[in-house]
Chain A
């Protein structure tokens, strides 16, 4: 398993999201799992059952925190109480890195509790970079930003999503949580080739990969995390691993959650790609890391 400074040089393997319907199984059977990802906001309380569960999990398993409401792209400032509680949790879990989304979701202190897409503008790059840097400095651990599934695009956008992602992570000097399912969902909703996106990601910054299922409607795809991973998403995953090297991988399953064993088995399908990539990656990695979507200075100037 390859590692880099964006995942604190940790070799985590294949994990799954920690979800309530699996608690009983986990505590009674104590299954072997490489790691669990927790949603930070579910454990940012003072005490009670959530914290008891977390402490029991921490005794036995590696845990990485993943947030859903930092809103790196929100134009208005983050809530200091949110940051304070998040840091408190970081100290409790010793998470080696922390991720949240490259999106916005709050404005003037009002929260939508959704992962809203950003207009891919230079102003948004600057504001997002500022916030990612501030959060990373405050938390004192590596931060990775995750590409979101989106259903709308903005007339104001000045670059592609993958160009935007590359600009943000290079300027903020942070990692990427690459969600290949989100790339697939957005590609279908915005009519681009998902493989172009995967090929353009700054591979050396990928700290973690997410895989998940989704729901297809007549005119769009919704990122529901309630199905197994489909083959085209596995293909994107294979390509991502080919480019990034074997990377900590996490299956998300949030609705109509099947048994623990079923979810874990779905996640472990990633292993075949990881093994295949492990042998070929080291030979080619030195050439590949320079392939990045970041705009050249000339292109950047041209689109301003």
Chain B
């Protein structure tokens, strides 16, 4: 980068790099640039001072605004994660994540889209509750997806009754399937906000940190299968039996119904006599909740 950026692109790259650089612990702009220059010198190379603020201070306003806005947005999408790791740790986690994965979308809605994979790879940011934190983050991201992903015309009971083993089904995009290590869904339900943030153009005054981690009951690992989904435009969680989860997961992967059911009951301990009734109930629930739809309707329905 030249010491005095003059082209539009060079100015924007220089300013974006400064604005997106993490703040100090005192919420100030860092004094030194990554290349060792003083930030006051960097700022003065393209920002003009006024009678009250020098170039550094003017650039710092945008640096703060950026972090207040993205930290606030991430905290709104992951309130339970924030509660279990604590406000300070969540802030550190968020800064590290957003530094590694700044927004690549025009919408703040997608800000947390890579948090889970990042958190899995960086356990030190969630401390001793790391694996629980990953489960909680997965549930909260599933909520974001279930909230506004597409819903197609679901198959009716009559249409479902015509399916056979070769039929290929599609799952509604908003149905999010989760295989968890902990039964963390109830905890998230308790901590989660139902109202979604709206984007605005207004400046942001601050980012509030809620310091202490929540006091939690003892959590033991217990494999848990959950679907986050939407009914009448509200998001719900539904616990699934392992067999139902595996069947749905196989359907999502595009397997025909017969193979999906085989995948669902692979290594199942469910007694054979119970299985037919279980499958009937499963289809009944899917029909009621509108979870399945046709990738291409004519290929699924026998005439």
Q: Which residues of A are at the interface with B, using a C-beta cutoff of 8 A? A: 17, 19-20, 39, 41-42, 44-52, 68-69, 73-76, 79, 81-82, 101, 104, 106-116, 118-119, 121, 123-124, 127, 148-149, 151-157, 189-191, 212, 215, 219-220, 222-226, 252, 254-255
B42 to chain A, nearest CB (A): 12
**Chain A residues, Cβ within 8 Å of B61:** 151-152, 220, 222
The answer to whether B48 and A155 touch across the interface, beta carbons within 8 angstroms, is yes
Contact of A47 among B45, B52, B103, B150 (CB under 8 A): B150
**Chain A residues, Cβ within 8 Å of B230:** 47-48
**Chain B residues, Cβ within 8 Å of A215:** 203, 205
**Chain A residues, Cβ within 8 Å of B9:** 75-76, 107
A interface footprint on B11-52 (CB within 8 Å = 1, 0 otherwise): 111011001100000000000000000000000111110111
Pick from B12, B19, B51, B59 the residue with the most CB of A within 10 Å.
B12
Q: Is B131 an interface residue (CB 8 A)?
A: no
A48-B233 contact, Cβ under 8 Å, with A41-B106, A74-B12: yes
A155-B47 contact, Cβ under 8 Å, with A107-B12, A112-B20: yes
Q: Is B303 an interface residue (CB 8 A)?
A: no
A126 to chain B, nearest CB (A): 9
Q: Is B2 an interface residue (CB 8 A)?
A: no
Known: A41-B108, A112-B66. 11 other contacts (CB 8 A): A17-B200, A39-B199, A39-B200, A47-B174, A51-B148, A114-B69, A153-B48, A154-B46, A155-B47, A155-B48, A224-B202
A191 to chain B, nearest CB (A): 6
A224-B203 contact, Cβ under 8 Å, with A49-B147, A152-B61, A156-B46: yes
Residue total for B at the interface (Cβ-Cβ under 8 A): 61
**Chain B residues, Cβ within 8 Å of A115:** 201
The answer to whether B203 and A223 touch across the interface, beta carbons within 8 angstroms, is yes
The answer to whether A254 and B201 touch across the interface, beta carbons within 8 angstroms, is yes
Q: Chain A: which residue is nearest B19 at the CB level?
A: A112
**Chain B residues, Cβ within 8 Å of A148:** 201
B13 to chain A, nearest CB (A): 6
Q: Is B274 an interface residue (CB 8 A)?
A: no
The answer to whether A75 and B12 touch across the interface, beta carbons within 8 angstroms, is yes
Q: Which residues of B are at the interface with A, using a C-beta cutoff of 8 A? A: 4-9, 11-13, 15-16, 19-20, 44-48, 50-53, 55, 57-59, 61-62, 65-66, 69-70, 73, 102-109, 147-151, 173-174, 195-196, 198-205, 230, 233-234
A48-B8 contact, Cβ under 8 Å, with A154-B48, A224-B203: no
The answer to whether A219 and B57 touch across the interface, beta carbons within 8 angstroms, is yes
21 contacts between A and B (CB under 8 A): A39-B198, A41-B199, A48-B230, A51-B148, A107-B16, A111-B104, A112-B66, A113-B73, A119-B8, A119-B11, A152-B59, A153-B47, A155-B46, A156-B46, A191-B51, A212-B202, A219-B57, A222-B205, A223-B201, A224-B202, A255-B205
A152-B12 contact, Cβ under 8 Å, with A49-B233, A189-B50, A252-B202: no
**Chain A residues, Cβ within 8 Å of B55:** 152
The answer to whether B12 and A104 touch across the interface, beta carbons within 8 angstroms, is yes
A13 to chain B, nearest CB (A): 22
Contact of B15 among A116, A219, A225 (CB under 8 A): A116
The answer to whether A47 and B50 touch across the interface, beta carbons within 8 angstroms, is no
**Chain A residues, Cβ within 8 Å of B107:** 41, 44, 69
**Chain A residues, Cβ within 8 Å of B15:** 116
**Chain A residues, Cβ within 8 Å of B204:** 224
A116-B62 contact, Cβ under 8 Å, with A46-B149, A109-B104, A219-B52: yes
